Every structure is written in C-alpha cells, then in structure tokens.
Amino acid sequence: MHFRPARNWMNDPNGLVFHDGRYHLYYQYNPNGADHGFMSWGHATSADLVDWDEHPVAIRHTDEHEIFSGSAVFDEHDSSGLGTEGTPPLVAVFTLADQRGRHQAQGIASSTDGGFTWTPYAGNPVLDRGSSDFRDPKVFRYSGPAGDYWVMVAVEAQERRVVLYRSDDLKAWTYLSDYGPRGATGGVWECPDLFPLAVDGDQDDVRWVLLISLNPGGIAGGSGTQYVVGRFDGVHFVPDEPGPPAALRDGWDCSRAQLEACDWLDYGRDCYAGVTFSGLASEDRVLIAWMSNWDYAGQLPVDAEHPQRGAMTLARRLSLSRRGGRVRLIQEAIGPATTPLDPDPRGSTWPREVAAGATLALDLAPQARLRVRLHPAGGAGAGLAAELRFRDARGVSAVLRFADGALSLDRRPGAAGLPSAFGSVQRVQLAEPGLFEAEIWVDGADSGRGSVEVFADGGAVALTDLVGTRITCVELVAVGDAMLVEEWSAEIPRTVLAGAEGHHA
C-alpha cells in the first residue's frame, strides 16, 4: 500500500511522471546502505499508484556528484534534441550536488526506453547560479498568454526563495522571477512545485498552487510543507492573499500564530517533499510525499538482516475548493480497492447513540481504511469529544482525539525505544466543532511500525504520522457527553483479504 524499497535508505520522491500507461516514481536513494548518503535516483513503477514494482537504480551518483531531487517530463516534440528518430525522450532534471565543494547546479539526463535507463547530458550542468544551495528543480510545460515554453521552479534554499526560469529546449535557461521569503521560514526551503487547478471544477476560475517544503519549521515540528494559492502569468507567481510576512533575516523562526496563518499540505509529522506527477491532464493532479521527518528519519531502528529506512505516503488526488470564503487545497487518498471487514456482530445499524464512556472496538487487518462520522447526541449546542485509540498487542500505541473542533494525534504511548523526537502530539483546528467526519488509512504491514493517514474536513485537512508499533485494533470512545455515531466502519484491501483466504484454504 505504501511503497518502500526492499533495502537501504530512501527519502524525497523525484521525477514523478505518467508515461505509456505507467506511473514512474523515482526517489532519493542510497544504493549502499540504510543511512542518508551517496544520493542516487531509485525507481519504481505502478499501473494504479497502489501496487509498485521496484527496478534497478535509474541515475547513480558519481565520484563528482550526488544526484539530488528533481523532476521528469516527456519531451513530446523533442525540443531538447535528445531523442532518437521517432522516439521523443523523457528528460530528467535534477540537482548535481558537489558535496566537497558545497556547490549545487542543475543537470539533465534523457531516456528513450520509457524511463528505465538514462544518459546524462554531456553539456551538464545546464543551469548554474554559482550557489551552494540552488536545488530541487520542478519542470513543467507552460502554455498561456506569455507563450509556450518549459518552466523550472527551484529554490535558493538558505535564502527562502523560489526561483523561476524558462527554456525552449530544456538546456538553455533564462531567469523569470522569484518568490519569497514569505510565510513559514523557520527552515531551508526545498522541493517546490507549481501547478494549475480549477476551483470547484470551474474552468473559468483557475488558480495556481505553489508547494514549498521546509526543514525545520513545519507546523508539526521538523520538516513540513506549506502551500500558497495564487495566479501565474507565465512569469510571476502572485498569491491571492497577503499572507503572513516572513520572519526577519537575523532570525528566521516563526511564531505559532504565524505558522497557523499559513496553509499546510499536512498537519502531521510525516509528510514531506510532496510533489505531483507530470504527464497527466491538468485536472488530474496526483501527489506523493516522503512519509518521514528529518527530525528522526536517520535514527529509526532497522532490521539488521534487511536494513531499510523510508516509505512514501499514499498517493493523493488534489483539487481546489472554496471553503469558508477561502480557496483550499483538497486531498483524496488513492488507496487499494477495499471490502468491508466483519460487520458488527450484533447486527446494529447506524446511526447509534453511544453513552459517555462507552467504547466501540474494531479489530483490524494489517492494512485498513476506517470511516467515522460523529455528532453530539444532545443536538445543536452540545459538545462533542471522542477518541480513537489505536492499539497493538501490548496496549495503546496512539490516540486520535477530537474535542469541540480541535483534532490531535498523540503517538507518545507507542514511542518507547524510538528517537526522543518521535514522541509527539500534532494538533489542528477543524471547521465544525459539532461534527467529526474522517477517512483514516492504517498500515501495519511494516513488521516494526505502522502509519496513520487522516483526511478530515472533506479533505481540506490531512494529518500523517508514523506510529511506533503495528496497529491491530482501534477503539472509538465517547470521552465527553453521549455522541451520535452515524458511521463507524473498517474496510480491508481486497488483496489482503485474498491472501488471508488463500492462507486459510
């Protein structure tokens, strides 16, 4: 359900592209071990964004350079001249990182076999600002009033600036503009993305979304990703709202109030460097992110026989919607096809009133989707407080709490034996204090740990956390007054169910 390589270290998704009916996921990868280093591009493909096949290393580090994050595009008209007769190339654009000289510039490579083997361009680097922190190029094809050309969105990381360039051939680049510092600036900026989406599907109201990851300085602590909605004319990105100002250069850290004034892709600890796939229709915008946090990623325990660190989030379909007078980014998880887990043995139907202190429990398969919808039993004006207690064989591992509009996930109970930064509580305010409705994906397929991805407020709020143990059961508890449970169900991926049935046959 969540992609992770069989061995070794992985972090940021790179080069996301849909081509010839397959989704290609490249990623930061250490072919030599389970620690960060020797950065290369690993490679996996999928037909459905759920089941992934791992392939050999796509672009390997050299003695001179590590291959840092970047993107990939299909050069349909061979504007780069890197294709062969009748075969336009895929072109990867990435950061050439000279760690000894602390120098970063952008290079390209081409593939004419569908993205499985790559040839570095002899003229690399194609864009060099003489900078030690110029990285993470995201390239897309722009077509609008300003013309038709390639656009690169990258960062000057330490300066907290997004820099934009244009090119006709992916090899010669001309400066367009920059953006920032603005909003959250408590860490270096990384892994930008810029893409259009129609508001509520209205093609006459198209906005552009700018994603900016930063480390540290995220809303939940450590690394995180903010987003900004605005307009792009092919040269400048202009936000719709003034937004919070950047902190002063002599102290980049932001206050909690400044962070809460920003919009965030995810309010959990473990969703970073998310970017979207090229090669899809503009209305079919799909994102995937690294499911970890730089606060502790390199310290998580590994299996000595099969050392491995890092996984990706579920893929997410993005859209824009007007909520409370503002345009918000909406996320819909792309998970496996599911079937209901065992129904309630008492045959009860929903809605059902649950008394204060009462518990509804569901045993879970290693992977499951939960659906929950709660109201106060006392009607309008009554309070609502509930907990979802995620348990393993030894006890409670994490607690998701909802109380009068505030949502939090506390994973301290299951953090024993993990890095000190792992035990934490993440919080976010939801739109309606008298309603809690969410879709929650739970994955315990990793024998050592699990993960929880929460999508609430109709997808306007996402919260993704690793948890310290495998989750085998979840309890829904009315911790305040009585509550009305309109939905409380678990579904299991059909592939997991088929495997279990085959095992018992």
Q: Which residues are catalytic?
A: 12
Burial of 37 (0-12, 13-18, 19+ CB in 10 A): middle
Q: Which amino acid is at 472?
A: T
Nearest Cα neighbor of 114 from 90, 130, 93 is: 90
**Which position has the token pair 């699990």?**
450
> For residue 486, which of 393, 357, 322, 354 has the smallest C-alpha distance?
354
Report the candidate in 303, 291, 364 with the shortest Cα–Cα distance to residue 333: 291
Task: Give the helix ranges, DSSP H, for 21-159.
Answer: none
Those residues with Cβ within 8 angstroms of residue 236's Cβ, 6 or more apart along the chain or in another chain: 176, 177
Measuring CA to CA, which residue among 476, 454, 498, 252 is closest to residue 365?
498
Determine the residue type at 208. W
Does an H or E element contain 504, and which? helix 494-504
CA-to-CA distance for 31 and 272, rounded, in angstroms? Answer: 21
- For residue 374, the cross-strand partners are 436, 485
C-alpha closest to that of 140 among 189, 91, 205, 83: 91
Angle (CA) 111 273 25, round 5°: 30
